[in-house]
Structure 1
């Protein structure tokens, strides 16, 4: 706790004075362009990763970067999405998974959830991803299996996101775009889901993706290599 207090003192002394005008504007409201839904993992810091200023990102974090389907589970994330789209008028919603995700590891090994019934219940919203990957990753090593599950979970949560009426309406009008990303902690890389091709592709620094194999094709290649 002392470390946090000292950090705040540094912010108030060194950072705030240099951005006083910005904070004065933000004191009366916010106008973020993007809602960023990501994992609660302490290693994932959206504002740092994207060099974002205060007021640019509307960030929501939970275990496993999950968005429950509409009407199935009343939750803070669904309420936050409604607020971001309807009131803040965000133009983009990003669901971002990450490498070495503890939630995804728990899906692969349910024994890790012993004594945590609430977490186990929450992760049921990722069951579809677990089943899809289980049916398509025979012979993969643990690292590849985890990578595939992390990707498929993002795809599944994008499908859940589309079930929210406010999201469906905004997408239909062309005022909202949704995105699925995977952040690699150790490599500072991002892969993005290309909905038109069903592929995760590398994000280049100019924002244009580099095409790679589709997830299903990759499963097949990895399984053949492991055989």
Structure 2
């Protein structure tokens, strides 16, 4: 187990000369996609703020047609931005209306199917950090990923007792029967920084008590990278803690059983928002692996 946690997770830098040009980008933005038995029309990818502004402009164009006032887009745009800035929930309102008009209505049958039940393929455990949104980063659509987020994307061991994370795991595995659990960590994680700065004799706090779940990752980081800078140690620990969480998943009897049966797979992911890259790997768990271990890492890849 310790050797798995110390296993390096570095990936070779992608060769930019072999990357495809933008015209050969493999994803098609105008397509129908099947999720949960229904077609979801993804349409063109639009920036949320662009949608908001279009919604604002359409609203005011309609007003001008009724009142026959002269068009003054620049001034009105400034006034609307000031109006939204005064109340952040107004921006959320415009975003919701944009979602309803441009997504919900266009994919009504899909959302009606989701209203009857969900059958996601993924259970995602991610950090509560506002910069790390799994649906935004990985493009999950409604109905695809059952998600729980907490400080430092940690999975406590089974013996830790009840928590919102263990409750979510129980429901996702036993009721929804997800096929994949993905633990997503990220760069410059405040929870991991708190873990690495933690003093054993310091006063107790909610944060200290929670991040202590990953104290084994802290210890292995100190042993393997203690001579490096604090930033480098944190980066090392961010990945160590993901592997620690993957191992903790196997302490849940119903997760271990499904992994052993081959009906559930455990995966780690690391999002570097400094360079916008994503590392992904899979934890293998079975008897008789090389070296007599039950654990191994396979299918490492770097998305850049």
Contact 1:128 1:156 in 2 (8 A): yes
CA contact (8 A) 1:181 1:192 kept: yes
| 1:95 counterpart residue number | 183
1:107 aligns with 2:195: yes
Q: Secondary structure at the match of 2:182?
A: strand
Report Cα offsets for 1:22-47 as digits up to 9, x if no partner: 11110100010010101011111111
Corresponding residue number in structure 1 for 2:169: 81
- TM-superposed deviation, 1:201: 4.1
In the comparison of the two structures, how many residue pairs are matched? 203
TM-score by length of 2: 0.62
What pairs with 1:112-123 in structure 2 (closer than 5 Å)? 117-123=205-211
Q: Cα gap change, 1:50/1:174 in structure 2, threshold over 3 Å: closer, same or farther? A: same
Aligned to 1:55, the other structure's residue is in SS state coil
**Is 1:24 matched with 2:123?**
no
1:182-216 Cα deviation digits (max 9, x unpaired): 111122211123546558944347xxxxxxxxxxx
CA distance in 2, matches of 1:148, 1:173: 32
Separation (CA, whole Å) in 2 of partners of 1:100 and 1:203: 18
Q: Distance in 2 between matches of 1:199 and 1:90?
A: 20
Structure 1 equivalent of residue 147 of structure 2: 59
| 1:43–1:115 CA distance, 2 compared to 1 (3 A) | farther
* Aligned-pair CA distance for 1:14: 2.6
Gaps of 5+ in 1: 206-227
Q: Which residue of 2 aligns with 1:222?
A: none
Residue correspondence of structure 1 range 177-188 to structure 2 within 5 A: 177-188=265-276
Measure how far apart 1:49 and its partner are.
1.5
Query: Secondary structure in 1 aligned to 2:279?
Result: strand
Secondary structure of 1:10's counterpart equals helix
RMSD: 2.1
Cα distance in structure 2, aligned partners of 1:138 and 1:40: 27
Deviates more, 1:8-17 or 1:131-140: 8-17
Residue 116 of structure 1, CA deviation: 7.8
The answer (yes or no) to whether the contact 1:69–1:160 under 8 Å persists in 2 is yes
Question: Does the 8 Å CA contact 1:191/1:200 hold for their aligned counterparts?
Answer: no
Q: CA deviation at 1:94?
A: 0.6
Q: What TM-score results when the alignment is normalised by the length of structure 1? A: 0.82
- Spell out structure 1 runs of 4+ moving beyond 3 A: 193-202
Q: 1:124 aligns with which of 212, 217, 227?
A: 212
Are 1:70 and 2:158 matched, yes or no?
yes
